[in-house]
Structure formats: C-alpha cells, structure tokens
Amino acid sequence: MTEKSGLHVWKARQLWWRLAIVFVCVWGLGLGAQPLLFFTTQSNIIVLAYFAVAVWWMVVHRTTKAPAPRLRGGVTLWIVTTGLVAHLILNHGESPFPGLVDAAPGVAMANQALFLLHYAVPLMVLIDWALFGPRGTVRLRDQIVWILYPVIYGAAALLRGALFPDVSSRFNYPFFDFATLGFVGTVAALAQVLAIIAVLASGVVALDRTADFVARRLPVAHVDNSHRHRAIGVTLLA
C-alpha cells in the first residue's frame, strides 16, 4: 500500500463514523452506572470492542472495510435488539426525550446514558451496516449463530433468578420475572422477545443483501449513463 492509500483511510467517512460509534459508546457507558448483567451493557461493550478493533484494523491495513463482516452482522443484531426491546417493551413505545431534561440532575443523567445506549448507538450501528461495506457476505444460516447469544443470555438470567432468589436485581428484565408472570406468562413474554430477535436477524440479512444489490447496480447505471452521454455527443458531432 502506498502512503496515498494510507491518507485515504483517514479521509474516509467510514473511519470517522466508526470512531463516533466508539465515542458514543464510551460516553453512554461512562455516563451511567449500568451493571454488567444487563443485556444493554453487554451489547454496548461488544459494540465498543468490535468498532475499536475495526478502527485499528482499518488504519493498520489501510482499508475502508470493517473486519469479520459476519461477526459485524451479529453485533448489529444484538445492539438493535437492545434498542427495540428497550423502546417497545421497557418504555412501552413512549418517547425518551422528556426524561433527558428531568428536573433532578441525577435522573436526567441516567436517562441520557440510557438514551445513548438504547437509541443513539443502535441507530449508528444500523446506519453503518446499511451504508458501509463489506456487503453481501452474511448467509441465512448466520442468523442461527447470532441468535444463540441472546438465547444463552436469557437462559442464564432465568437460572440466576431461580438459584438466587434473594439477590438484588433478581430479574434483569420484566419478561424474565417468572415469580410474577408465572410459567405461561414467562413463556409468552420470552416468545415475544425471541420473535422480535428472529425478525430482526432476518432484517439484518435482508438489509445486507439489499445494500449489496444497490451497490452492484449503481456502477452499472453509472457506466450506462456514461455510454449514453458519449453516444449523444457522437450523434451531435455527426
């Protein structure tokens, strides 16, 4: 690689967007005090680790492409799951904006941290997945691997709640609270969450394939237009 290609990486919007993701992750995690046992915290730490490595990879290898695209698909799924579950189930679809300016500074700061982790980071990662390459690398069966992490997390959360009934924050999320929901209610709640994750996993793959299709079509359209303009020019000169 030449020095020019190295300079090109520092001018690439992919690099600066991914640096911004790292910054917002650090900001959100540092602003709040979310315990590690929450999926929100874990998924944001995973995002932070992946994109920090991605930035390093891009600079060292002088490329605009992120590494391990299939892992990147899983990272995208997990953080988008965090955002949608938080908005639809935990916040019941209500706007998060009023809480950002709560009269109590401590409450406002906590809400701001959750806003960054639940909304800003998932949206930024989803935009990265949609706009930047590499594309067309994930497969339908990758969804099964991606879903394993949330399933294992849920199983561990249920086991923790069953084995340690007196521990603080016994149930990380209300849909794990079998003491309140009962067996049938817990199964129904978990099925709802799993359905959301499965739909999101398919959406991540579909978005990748759509972006790949569009990226492949754009150069063709550009070439076709170039030939058309050239043909028009020749006709006019004739």
DSSP string, 30-41: HHS---TTSHHH
pLDDT tens column, 62-85: 999 999 999 999 999 999 999 999
For the cut 60, the answer to whether the pLDDT of residue 228 exceeds it is: no
Burial of 114 (0-12, 13-18, 19+ CB in 10 A): buried
Residue type, 68: A
What was the pLDDT predicted at 29?
Answer: 95
For the cut 90, the answer to whether the pLDDT of residue 218 exceeds it is: no
Domain count, the chain: 1
Residue 134's region, left for phi above 0, alpha for psi from -120 to 50, else beta, is beta
Is-contact 153 175, C-beta < 8 A? Answer: no
Is-contact 146 77, C-beta < 8 A? Answer: yes
pLDDT tens column, 146-187: 999 999 999 999 999 999 998 888 998 999 999 999 999 999
Is-contact 17 132, C-beta < 8 A? Answer: yes
pLDDT tens column, 123-145: 999 999 999 988 888 988 999 99
Single out the residue of 20, 8, 52, 226 nearest to residue 116, CA to CA. Answer: 20
Displacement of CA 117 from its chain's centroid (Å): 10
d(CA 196, CA 83): 11
d(CA 147, CA 9): 33
CB neighbour list of residue 146: distance below 8 Å, 6 or more residues apart: 73, 74, 77, 78, 201, 204
> Which band of pLDDT confidence, cut at 50, 70 and 90, is reported for residue 229?
very low
Residue type, 82: T
Least confident among 33-37, 39-43, 88-92, 139-143: 33-37
What was the pLDDT predicted at 238?
Answer: 42
What residues make up the domain containing 25? 3-237
Name the helix (H) or strand (E) containing 187. Answer: helix 178-237
State mean pLDDT over 228-237: 42
pLDDT tens column, 83-120: 999 999 999 999 999 899 988 988 899 999 999 999 99
| DSSP SS3 for 85 | helix
For the cut 50, the answer to whether the pLDDT of residue 1 exceeds it is: no
What was the pLDDT predicted at 224?
Answer: 46
Residue type, 197: I
Percent of the chain with pLDDT over 90: 70
What was the pLDDT predicted at 158?
Answer: 95
The pair phi, psi for residue 94, each rounded to 5°, is -80, 155
| DSSP SS3 for 145 | helix
What was the pLDDT predicted at 219?
Answer: 62
Can you give the pTM of this predicted structure?
0.87
